[in-house]
Structures are given as structure tokens and as C-alpha cells.
Amino acid sequence: MIRKIITINEEKCNGCGLCADACHEGAIGMVDGKARLLREDYCDGLGDCLPACPVGAISFEEREAPAYDADAVAAAKSAKEQPVPCGCPGTNVKQFQREQKTSSGSETLTVDSQLAQWPVQIKLMPVTAPYFQNADLLIAADCAAYAYGNFHKHFIRKRITLIGCPKLDEIDYSEKLTAIIRENEIKSVTIVRMEVPCCGGLEHAAKEALRASGKFIPWQVVTISTDGRIL
């Protein structure tokens, strides 16, 4: 449908994030230090974000766009307003902007974290977090990052990371993963598991979620040995 919707001039944007805070629907997020319209169906076209921008980078345009989805916005707001598990503020949703750099010296080597979001535990993940949109998803056994030395560089980099251990959590992740894949535009799924049999539960849950979502999404499974090799 043709309707009024915001547009953001990234050249003018100074990355202050005030527009994202002003957007009550959660349509705007910060990506690589710039404001982005993450969900067109979350933008109601009323423009609460316009006066918040100090550099005039936001304006209206009329173009083809999905209809405003009030139900989806309400569901996303409800998910954010739910009490965090155990009342812990450390489970609040966060998104990080990473500069891709590695610094080295004669005696030390510093490798930056590649983690793009928080939380990472599957059971703590909100289904409709903004970072899921157009994301390459990593579903990984939590032991894998300890066993495989280059885990950040080879797997976490440029992906949204979900970790878990079905043996220790004693839950089936299928329902949660299905909701995440079904409710968001996921570009690909990479499953990283350990070679131990109990990790088969994580692989099964991810595959079942892909099947139950009804979507055709590229996916792959990578298995790590207990001594840290890709098998």
C-alpha cells in the first residue's frame, strides 16, 4: 500500500540515538552507529521521532510500505514490559556496534569481542527483539565457544548469537526458536554443536524450529570436537 512513512538521511545522522528513544513503537534502531528504520510495519507515520532529531535527518515520504501493524507493536511492547527473569536487569535487551579491528604488538595480541547483542541465552531471548530483523542467526552450544579458540571470529562475527545447553537447562528449545524464526525475517541459520551426544538436542530443536516455522531459510550444522577442532 502507498502510505506516509519516515525516511532517515544517514549522511546527516550523527548517531545520537534520540530518535530511537522517541519512537514508542520500536520501529527505529541504531545500526553501525546510524539510525535505521528496522520495521516499516512498526512505523505509524505520526512522526514522534522528527522533533527528537537534532540534525534534521528524519523526514516523511509517501511510498509503497507494509501497513502499520498495531497488534505486532503491542506484542513487542508487552514482551519488553514483562518482568525480567529473577528480576535481573542484566537480561535487558541491548545491541552493540562493533568496530572491526585487531591490534597487535610484539608481545600481546588483542582480539575484540564480536558479540552484537544481549542477552544470548535462548531461554532469556525476547522473541521480537529488533536485532533479529534480517539477521544471520547463530544457534550454538555454550561449550563450543570454550572449545573452539576462534569462535568469535569464525561464528559470532556478523551474526546474532543464541546459546544454550538442553542437558543442563532440561528444556526443549524448539518452541522458542520456532517463534523467533517465524516472527522475524531471518536470512540464515548456523547451528554449532559439540560432538557429544547431548548436543544432539540443540541440533534437533533448531531443525524442528526451521521446519515448524514454514519458512525456507539456508542453514548449516557445524560440529566441534571436544579438543577444539571443526569436524
Span 127-176, pLDDT tens digits: 888 889 899 999 999 999 999 999 999 999 999 999 999 888 878 899 99
Q: Is the dihedral of CA 211, 213, 219, 220 positive or negative?
A: negative
Q: Would you say 42 and 133 are in contact if contact means Cβ atoms under 8 Å apart? A: no
Distance of alpha carbon 115 from alpha carbon 96, whole angstroms: 7
Give mean pLDDT in consecutive 10-residue pieces for the chain, a chain of 231 residues. Answer: 92 89 88 88 89 91 91 77 55 63 52 87 87 94 94 94 89 91 94 94 95 94 95 94
Please state the pTM of the whole predicted model.
0.61
What pLDDT, on the 0 to 100 scale, is given for residue 146? 94
SS3 (DSSP) at 15? coil
Taking residue 52's Cβ as centre, other Cβ atoms within 10 Å add up to 17
Please give the pLDDT value at position 98: 57
State residue 17's pLDDT score. Answer: 85
Task: Supply the pLDDT for residue 82.
Answer: 53
Q: Which amino acid is at 33?
A: G
**How far, CA to CA in Å, does 187 sit from each of 12, 100, 173, 181, 209?**
29, 22, 20, 10, 14
Give the helix/strand (H/E) hosting 94: strand 94-95
pLDDT at 106: 46
